[in-house]
Structure 1
Amino acid sequence: MVARPLSAKDRNAVKRLHAQGKSRNDIARAIKRSPSTVSKLAAEQGLTFDRAPQVEAATAVRKADLAARRAQFAERLQDIAEREADKMSAPTLYWEWGGKDHKYAEKTAAEPIPGDRRSIMSIIATAVDRSIKLVPPRDDAGAESRSVIGDLIAGLATDYAARHGGPPPEPEEPEAADDDAP
């Protein structure tokens, strides 16, 4: 089978479809050529199929979306832990069905029995632990502020040096007051 020669129509179609944001494979299907031929025609015209900026932007958006979802889920886990903690000292209904006559009996206790309290504590611990793993607490919010201020001061010093040809002068110490003055 002999390959069809490349035409101006092929070149124009590649240029037009590329401008529309079509991928190399989409263009190849549209003009009934191989992807390598499309790449060759695009390269001749200085066109590329580098989508790194779009992929990077899409990845950043996806990461932000996932972070928001993790934060929402961490809040749900915290809510679960708080609801369970409320049960630790709440009146609790205990019931049983049995005996030789298969009777139903129930009793309300002032709070859960120790075994149930242990189970509740386990649920609380698991929910809080998972919540913290999803969205770790910030132990030192001041460190971030100090970092921002430090970056600001460094930027101002760099700007001063660029405009004045050297670092800013050191601040002068105030003169000490004369103790013998009237």
Structure 2
Amino acid sequence: MARPITDADRRRVRELHAQDKSRNEIARAIGRSPSTVSKIAGQFTPPLTFDRAAQVATATAARKADLDQRRTEMAHRLQDVAERELSKMTQPTVYWEWGGKDHTYDEREQPEPTPADRRTMMATAGAALDRSLKLVPPKQDPGQESRSVVGELMAGLARDYVARHGGPPPEPDYDQALDDGQ
């Protein structure tokens, strides 16, 4: 048989609720089930609620902002990796060998890496740049947007000319313009 709800249970639920404890935290603190805590909370006028949607939304927004910041930092680090790899492509490089029957060490410097090493560096730089751009895509160039607006305007004018005159606009005669002194 279930233990009856006491005034001490009610008082304790009210105190812990005022401390902004969750239903499950209150249940653990008073040694009751979460459903009993909900029943007790519903007996008050007005009933106590455990609606934490606003707190959850705030916490979620904060977490997303933190992840955005971390993603941006990671994109910067990947950009640094790409730049470092690209800078190595034209730098003097030391190649070494260790081995042979006498276990000798041999070292030589070349003015720049071998083509195979350069391909590897390029692949590493490309992968780092690709990941960086996926983490933080570049903002669209405002000039590009302006150029596309101008392009759309020119295309619209050409369509309008075709609709009015039944054919494309004539090509400008630059030689004639030069003869006319323009």
Fold similarity call, TM over 0.5: yes
Matches within 5 A, 1:92-171: 92-99=93-100, 101-140=102-141
1:5 paired residue number: 4
Q: Which runs of 4+ in 1 moved over 4 A?
A: 98-102
* Long gaps (5+) in structure 1: 144-182
Pair 1:55-2:56 in alignment: yes
Measured at CA, do residues 142 and 90 of structure 1 come closer, stay the same or move farther in structure 2, by a change above 3 Å?
Answer: closer
* Long gaps (5+) in structure 2: 145-182
Q: What amino acid sits opposite 2:8 in the alignment?
A: K
Residues of 2 paired with 1:100 and 1:37: CA distance?
81
Residues of 1 paired with 2:24 and 2:97: CA distance?
68
Give, in angstroms, the shift of residue 11 of structure 1.
1.9
Give, in angstroms, the shift of residue 5 of structure 1.
2.7
Percentage identity across paired residues of the two chains: 63
TM-score using structure 2 length: 0.70
Measured at CA, do residues 99 and 6 of structure 1 come closer, stay the same or move farther in structure 2, by a change above 3 Å?
Answer: closer
Number of corresponding residues = 142
Pair 1:44-2:18 in alignment: no
1:68 paired residue number: 69
Q: Deviations over 1:65-86 (max 9, x none)?
A: 1111111111111111111111
Q: Secondary structure at the match of 1:95?
A: strand
Residues of 2 paired with 1:142 and 1:66: CA distance?
30
Which shows bigger deviation, 97-106 or 21-30?
Answer: 97-106
